[in-house]
Amino acid sequence: MRKINKKELNKDSILNHGVTILMEQGYHGTGLQEILDAANVPKGSFYNYFGSKENFGAEVIQHYIDPFITQLSGHLQSADTDALGAIQLYFDTLITALEKNQFNGGCLLGNLMGEIGDTSNICQKSLQSAVRRYRDLLESGLAKAQQQGTIRSDKSARDMADLLLNTWQGALLRTKIEKSSMPVKQCCQDLLGDYFKP
């Protein structure tokens, strides 16, 4: 196993704190000094790692989505469930986490899409990349489910992955104002449990 050096640990710490603070306060509501204080690193280090707040935001986006991609991949690679079951199980774990967190924060991607998605070119590209990576993984899972005969084949896996992702993001926004998991549960039930079925 590769040994992680202090510089990588510091950068990782800044990114971890960045995810937490940006979830709580948004991009514009977060100052660099706040992040540096939380991560306990000097300002010069920040600029060595990221160069600018925009570059930092772009890296935070990728850092945020990575665990979700790893988690979804793990479910899809599990031998215990079919692909549709794996996708449903994955979303069930997300819903449980939302309930445990009392629906605070929502999704950093969705939050940043609304806040800076059309004002920062660097962050916009990172958001597009994160969404594509996530959508492509969902697409591969849905394509596998099509091969297994558990979901319809008259729609493309790409179109269904886009629909699932778009509906999930909208439902997540509703959970924030409703303080209820009903919107995300309805999203999963209506799509995975009904519309996507053969």
- What are the pLDDT digits (tens) for 72-103? 999 999 877 899 999 999 999 999 999 998 88
Q: Provide the pLDDT confidence category of residue 8 given band limits of 50, 70 and 90.
A: low
Domains located in the chain, CATH noted: 53-195 (1.10.357.10)
Per-residue pLDDT at 66 exceeds 90: yes
Cα–Cα dist 184/111, whole Å: 16
Would you list the DSSP string of 52-80?
Answer: SHHHHHHHHHHHHHHHHHHHHHHHHH-TT
pLDDT at position 2 is 52
Quick check: 154 pLDDT over 90? yes
Per-residue pLDDT of 102-114, as tens digits, reads 888 789 999 999 9
Q: How far apart are CA 36 and CA 22, in angstroms?
A: 13
Dihedral sign for Cα atoms in the order 160, 166, 170, 173: positive
194: pLDDT confidence band, cut at 50, 70 and 90?
very high
pLDDT of residue 7: 64
The sign one gets for the Cα dihedral 99, 105, 109, 114 is positive
Q: Token digits for 12?
A: 């990782």
Q: Could you give phi then psi for residue 82, rounded to 5 degrees?
A: -75, 170
Average pLDDT, integer, range 58-65: 97
Judge contact between 16 and 59, C-beta under 8 A. Answer: no
> Are 138 and 146 in contact, with CB atoms under 8 Å apart?
no
| Average pLDDT over all residues of the chain | 92
